[in-house]
Amino acid sequence: MYTSTSTEISRRLETLKSLLERIHRSWGPKDFEALMRFFVEILPRLTNAERCSIFVADQTTENIWLKFGTGLEEKAIIAPMQGSLVGESISTGQTVIQTHLDQRAGFHAQVDKKTEFTTRNLLCVPIHSLAGKYHIGAVELLNKRSDEGFTPEDEAWLKQLVKHLALSIEHNTVTEEIIEITRGMHREIARTSDSLLSNERCVAESRAMRQIMALVQQIGPLPVNVFITGESGAGKEVIARLIHSWPGERRTRPFVAVNCSSIPENLMESEFFGHEKGAFTGAANSRMGRFEEAIGGTLFLDEIAEMPLSIQPKFLRAIQEMEGVRLGGNKIHHYDFRIISASSKDLRDEVKAGRFREDLFFRLFSIDIRIPPLRERTEEILPLMLLFLEQVSKRFKKKTHGFSPSLVGLFESYSWPGNVRQLEHEVERLVALTPEGETITEAHCSPQLMETRHAHTQETVFDSLSLPAHRRQLEIDLIMQALKKAHGNKVRAAELLDITRQSLHNKIKLYQIEDS
């Protein structure tokens, strides 16, 4: 159930999220890149050499990446730690000076062939880490324009300069780590906020919803596909987000929601598989599809029954093989995601009618969840009213004196064809139209609710069979009996009534029952 604590956590998370965004914007790589390119440009001039390259070692793979080089693109060269002169310098921590390389085979000859350059002589100085006893890279000068090649004086001078490079490189490495941490925190904050939002909107007072929540707890951490059915507005996406955000490997990864009924059939393939630049008229840029966006996380397919038959075979193959190709491309992209699909229609009926492939039906899910309509869980109407009242009042910055008992009775007797979504919009309407500081009554209800109100009024006038009135009195009598039997213990009384402790508290407050 929603509490003020979760509201405070959400507010603090939003503040932290904003702070991290400012930090991220303040740490750009442009200054570091400009400094490195300055070194690459100026060092050959100062040493009378033809080229300069700056390499950085990857401590995990033992590969050496070219970061900046004269006339070369970043990462155009990957040097091995064993078998290359730059690798020798980094692994031993010693300067390497070589001449007559154009007459010798080796890794440098392979690079020369690739870059159409001839290396004659070389000076390579390792970059020592300032934070530990290891080497983070090397600076390499090629082809000094003199017969003697590079000298010990060149080595001594370059070593002094490399100390400043080490400071810049390690500072940038730390910066990149901080940026990655902030990105991770940002994702976690977004996930936590989504989780809080989902939990705030999910009320489980009825037996059916408590069973659903128990099932969510079981399957949340597992990579099992799920199908959720229920009427429009019943809360299918809320349950899907709860499953995704449950503690497990996928909770920090993307939750990609797609409404299959809102995508034109001719755009369906591009939507899921993505497309390359120029794949069709109007494709000005390449774009990844929903399958790629959901990698590592959850792909939520809302109104799956509306997926056209024409795309279903390709969709089936993609989720069977977990791979696909963008429109206009030939590169195979591998997928890894959990599928949670939802529909307000019974897919079994769609299969029988030939509108949905049977093989796709069985591939889509292993577990199905049915969310009952709100009219079948009336005990949740009051808690949802109170939840939405708090949320809307905060958003509108407006205070009221709560709901009148007659309005609660009206809400609990209404059938809610639009389910929870309609209830939320009705509360929003009432808060907006009720004067500041007054009690919310039926006076500002929507026309649909007003029709129900008039029907109940006539029923009360002409006979004594008013269901809301009898239900209200029955609930009061049962609560009084349960409290008496439990000797005033509300936890025990709630168990006897088969409702939650919070639901009992809400009804005691609504009906103004004196505490026993």
Dihedral over alpha carbons 238, 240, 243, 249 (to 10 degrees): -120
Backbone angles phi, psi at 94, to 5 degrees: -115, 155
d(CA 449, CA 118): 85
Query: Backbone dihedral region of 75: left (phi > 0), alpha (psi from -120 to 50 degrees) or beta?
Result: left
pLDDT the model gives residue 180? 57
Choose among 75, 103, 203, 89: nearest CA to 138: 89
pLDDT the model gives residue 201? 55
| Strand ordering across the sheet containing 63-69 | 78-80, 63-69, 49-57, 135-144, 122-128, 96-98
pLDDT tens-digit readout, 329-370:
888 999 999 999 999 998 899 999 999 999 999 888 889 999
How many other CB atoms are found less than 10 A from the CB of residue 216? 19
pLDDT the model gives residue 199? 46
Model pTM?
0.53
Domain ranges of the chain: 30-176, 202-372, 376-511
pLDDT along the chain (516 residues), means of 10: 43 56 56 79 88 83 81 72 90 91 89 87 89 83 86 88 78 61 52 44 81 90 92 92 85 90 89 87 83 93 92 92 90 92 92 92 89 91 90 92 86 91 94 92 88 54 50 79 83 84 81 67
CATH topology of domain 202-372: Rossmann fold (3.40.50)
Residues 6+ apart with CB under 8 A from 33: 68
Choose among 52, 54, 72, 56: nearest CA to 64: 56
What is 30-176's CATH superfamily?
Answer: GAF domain (3.30.450.40)
pLDDT the model gives residue 294? 92
Class of domain 376-511 (CATH, top level): mainly alpha
CA end-to-end span of the chain, whole Å? 24
pLDDT the model gives residue 7? 46
pLDDT the model gives residue 195? 44
Task: Name the residue type at position 179.
Answer: I
pLDDT the model gives residue 2? 36
